[in-house]
């Protein structure tokens, strides 16, 4: 489910960015370019999320115990 949501939001945001930039530059809006870039962006986000560890640091655990 997280992969679907990641693709949905990247598709939505990249398509909006594609539309705005193409409008500002006065070029034709190309829908497929947005789809391709959003797929690449989704894959990069999923890879980065897999690389970043989920464990908290000892400093964060000690601080959480004090609260």
50-65 confidence digits (pLDDT tens): 998 787 777 777 777 7
Gyration radius from the chain CA atoms: 18
8-36 confidence digits (pLDDT tens): 999 999 999 999 999 999 999 999 999 99
How many CB atoms within 10 Å of residue 10? 21
Q: Which residues, in sequence order, are CB contacts of 6 under 8 Å at separation 6+? A: 42, 45, 46
Model-level pTM?
0.70
């Amino acid at each position: 489910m997280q992969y679907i949501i990641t693709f949905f939001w990247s598709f939505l945001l990249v398509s909006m960015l594609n539309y705005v930039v193409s409008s500002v530059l006065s070029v034709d809006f190309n829908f497929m370019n947005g789809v391709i870039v959003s797929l690449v962006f989704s894959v990069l986000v999923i890879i980065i999320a897999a690389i970043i560890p989920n464990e908290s640091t000892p400093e964060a655990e000690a601080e959480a115990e004090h609260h």
